[in-house]
Structure 1
């Protein structure tokens, strides 16, 4: 193939250049993240102590095979293309430096190619013409080149146009990768910033609590010190009076008599005083807040551009974004109404149930007082009571329309009335409560007060969602068996 135009050659070289040494790849090796680099010296110089290697582009840690970087897979396609590009560059230089040689026959090297065989579509020498092409139609090489040159050139141009489209696509991929790397870095920076802010707030809260503890301690110590100083003053006065009288008593009766009145007054003052009582202090005690582990946030994957979704209005029978209504459970659909987020009057990693009015304003939150851990499905019965299944607590919570806690039923176990990782819930026309007891591979029925009634099904693998159809049939989805079952006559 003739040398590619400079633009194509430059694009080829750009795609086949190692981002470390900025030269054509030499024995290219592919990392697990998909990026390619030269084995030596590029990757060999990047390997740190203990064989650690981090991709220079994606910054991902790469686990090396036992052979080290030499054991990484080779990219034979890139290696072949680099070698072809090197040869092309070398041949192009030789063509410019050397005069054009005479075309010799490959079968008869001493003979010059003089004619073109139209039947075999190859140039031949006079000896070939006599031996194998004597009765074939021939023409001169110059005329054949003129006749076929335009066709060959058209194919070359078409091939180069196709290559250009592929190279353009590769450039798009490269730009997309660059954008992804930048977005990844921005996401990581946001996570780190959120973490630092949370640490700062925790540090400020810690300092505040320590300051309160220190102030309480200082107040108590001040009380003790005040009492200590008061008692020491009493001791000092008594000790001085007694010591002076004792010394004069030892020296003679005249001096002793002079201290009698003073000592009588001092001792008399303290004789009527009540004995010191223990001081009342109030030491500070730390009571940690029983809250879930703080959540920095969530990493979400943006969906591909698509036609705009129509919003689904909130109905009176169900809550948008919930997992069911009084006829049964429905998993969230792509078209939905959402509200909340992180902040005041909004939602953040909820471990309870938040009740909002029709415009999405937070009204109240329930469940935290009862220790709700992992609410999974929610339904509303015919009387407006709210029922919530909790996977981690293995029970169902029941609240009235205003959000006041009524009762809970279930509890971890496999006996009658017990549940294990309950999921879907619904109520029938009589108000009975039907629960997909997923962990026990069964479907249970309770009355409206939470009393066990019966096992509806015990031969399921992982019942997940339940619903009552318009004709009273019970519909159960089994995620373990990948099927849906319909039960007739489930009422008591």
Structure 2
């Protein structure tokens, strides 16, 4: 209690000192403010009246306060009334927010309930189908067992008869049988201002549809083809005339894959000037490297033109695209060259440059492939020496860090097109040596194949798309 009284006494003393300091003139600190200048609308001391306020009408400070108190009180009341209306508006916002939260929760509950009902129907439908499938399976097994029993009965009967006959033969018998001034200005600012209007909200509601759950399918009895009848060997004359039976995977009368051609020579949309490479996205878009027109054109699998973008390196500098491949994120890697340098550039599907790194300019076209399993970029490289060319495969990380070289020992001369198959094996075509080299994921040569490149044409390899250019 003593400590509390001491704190109260100290607080009162500070209040008295503050009041006394506030009654002191800010210009003449030794003088006490007792007068109010009506002309300047401010409290003054006797020194101020003799100096800056000489001749101005004055009155006592207390009287002046009493004269203006009523005016100030009116402004206070008006300001509080406006404030109350704003507080009321804030309250309405809180209530609206609460209502929206409740409606949202109610809507979510309805959605979850409708989802659970649909899942239950799907589960019931699945169980019904499984049961129906099981019944059909049991019926089939019953038929097999019935037939087995019937045949076994016959076998037993035949076996018994044969055994009996053999015994009789051995016996030698032969028989067969199967989320104040200032006050005046503020109040005046808001006096004529329109009150805020309520926020118009449109809460989302969920209206479940009473449509039936999609039927997964039906269990049906499928008619199986009858067992093939063994054919007699073709005669030598039939084979000579081509009328014998066909062996291998090709079947007589089998429909062959449809060949589709599109484009044409030129620089217009959909035309090409030296198309050098092609790749296909998982969505079925065909990306063609149009080398002469310095662009990539995009088509559907049916050959319909979709869009195009220039193969820029930076700013407005373009390169001739030699080869294109797609990485595991659905972005494109394009290798090519400007007049003085070679580059590997990564674009998104709309043609925005994502990253790039420099390559040594050798004067020869390059090929590129992406090893999605290791996130490596594989690029073919050929020395500039025309008479003694040397080829290899250079392996990089996407940031341009060099990893290793593949294929130095096999004597490749002019490798260009390259791909990586589903098992991580690297396939490279070398047109000068008419060979396709095959390496494992560690760069060890497995074998090479002889390919007849007519007129030095390149064999474009693209394992993922299944599209080839020759």
Query: Which interval holds the TM-score relative to the shorter structure?
Result: 0.3 to 0.5
Name the structure with the higher strand share: 2
Larger Rg: 2
Name the structure with the higher helix share: 1
TM-score w.r.t. the length of structure 2 is 0.34
